[in-house]
A and B are shown apart, each in its own frame.
Chain A
């Protein structure tokens, strides 16, 4: 019972971290600039201004956008499938479908973060990675652990 609660809490935490990483525009941070994935926030005259992203390799940026969104979708689907399988799975079987969805989510966020690291902001001299970038990699680790857990876990026999 405790283990079930821990797994569900970890899964919900992963979902929240992935959603923050995908939605918040903070993959790249500079002095009073917070950019990426969807737009750019500039802080001037004590006001934040939102502008569109310009001068980025469009295809790589859109690929990172797509994989981040897909990672969120798959991990949320995995939670629903896990709850459904808790009631419908025969005793002693493994949660394979949930594990598959979770590993796909893991692959998606890994692909997205890797493309971002390799192809975007390669020649920028100032600025660094923001909290969304860090959360994306943390979510990669968490989704991987969860996927392994679902592949190994068996439903109780009694």
Chain B
């Protein structure tokens, strides 16, 4: 009994190492949105540890062309603190679930000045060593036409129609030929029946 306990404790100590390992944070790479719309910036993390009660999420924002970052969101000790002084006051909402390792935020009513890089940093004590992940936000006034989409569409439709017309033409020719062939077979069958009936009457 004692040896069994000793063995299990040694095994457990081996599985759960004392030093913390790196935490991996995931956000998108780039997000596109239209002026006036809302966008959800997702942030989640992977950690070997269970989700602790002291888990923290922080979002910082660096505008395009600027070298300074400004902190816009912080979640700690079970409470979310949103930006109430900076560029996103009254436009930021926390829509994540820290228990499920989700630290996503919702930006409402986007403006052209919101173009920039958003960085998410998550910490899951004692797992605190990790690299923050950044997502780039691009705000457009209208949806831009991508290069070559219309070109490809026109070429594809016209060539597809050509192939379709040729196939239908040859199919119609083939079907008409078959119908003529099947008509002559049924006539031949009818003639045979009439001939056998006449022979029976004679007898």
- In the assembly, what is the distance between CA of A63 and CA of B158, in Å? 12
* With contact pairs A58-B145, A59-B145 given, residues A70 and B155 touching in the complex (Cβ less than 8 Å): yes
Tell whether, in the assembled complex, residue A58 and residue B158 are in contact, meaning their CB atoms are under 8 Å apart. no
Tell whether, in the assembled complex, residue B150 and residue A59 are in contact, meaning their CB atoms are under 8 Å apart. yes
**What's the tally of chain A residues with a CB closer than 8 Å to chain B?**
11
Chain B nearest Cβ from A3, distance in angstroms: 28
Chain A residues with Cβ below 8 Å from B148 are 62, 65
Name the residue in A58, A63, A66 with the highest tally of chain B Cβ atoms < 10 Å from its Cβ: A66
Instruction: For chain B, residues 129 to 166, give those with C-beta under 8 angstroms from any C-beta of chain A.
Output: 145, 147-155, 158-159
- In the assembly, what is the distance between CA of A70 and CA of B157, in Å? 11
- In the assembly, what is the distance between CA of A73 and CA of B154, in Å? 13
Chain B residues with Cβ below 8 Å from A146 are none
Chain A residues with Cβ below 8 Å from B145 are 58-59, 62
Main secondary structure of the interface of B (DSSP, over half): helix
- In the assembly, what is the distance between CA of A73 and CA of B150, in Å? 17
Interface flag for A69 (CB, 8 Å): yes
* With contact pairs A58-B145, A59-B145 given, residues A66 and B159 touching in the complex (Cβ less than 8 Å): no
- In the assembly, what is the distance between CA of A66 and CA of B158, in Å? 10
Interface flag for A67 (CB, 8 Å): yes
**Interface size of B as a range:** 10 to 19
Tell whether, in the assembled complex, residue B149 and residue A66 are in contact, meaning their CB atoms are under 8 Å apart. no
Chain B residues with Cβ below 8 Å from A63 are 150-151, 154
Instruction: For chain B, residues 33 to 87, give those with C-beta under 8 angstroms from any C-beta of chain A.
Output: none
Tell whether, in the assembled complex, residue B158 and residue A70 are in contact, meaning their CB atoms are under 8 Å apart. yes
- In the assembly, what is the distance between CA of A58 and CA of B145, in Å? 7
Tell whether, in the assembled complex, residue B150 and residue A67 are in contact, meaning their CB atoms are under 8 Å apart. no
Nearest A residue to B148 by beta-carbon distance? Answer: A62
Chain A residues with Cβ below 8 Å from B151 are 62-63, 65-66, 69
Chain A residues with Cβ below 8 Å from B158 are 70
15 A-B residue contacts at CB 8 Å? A58-B145, A59-B145, A59-B150, A62-B150, A62-B151, A62-B154, A63-B150, A63-B151, A65-B151, A66-B150, A66-B151, A66-B154, A67-B154, A69-B155, A70-B159
**Could you tell me which A residues sit within 8 Å of B by CB distance?**
52, 58-59, 62-63, 65-67, 69-70, 73
**Could you tell me which B residues sit within 8 Å of A by CB distance?**
145, 147-155, 158-159
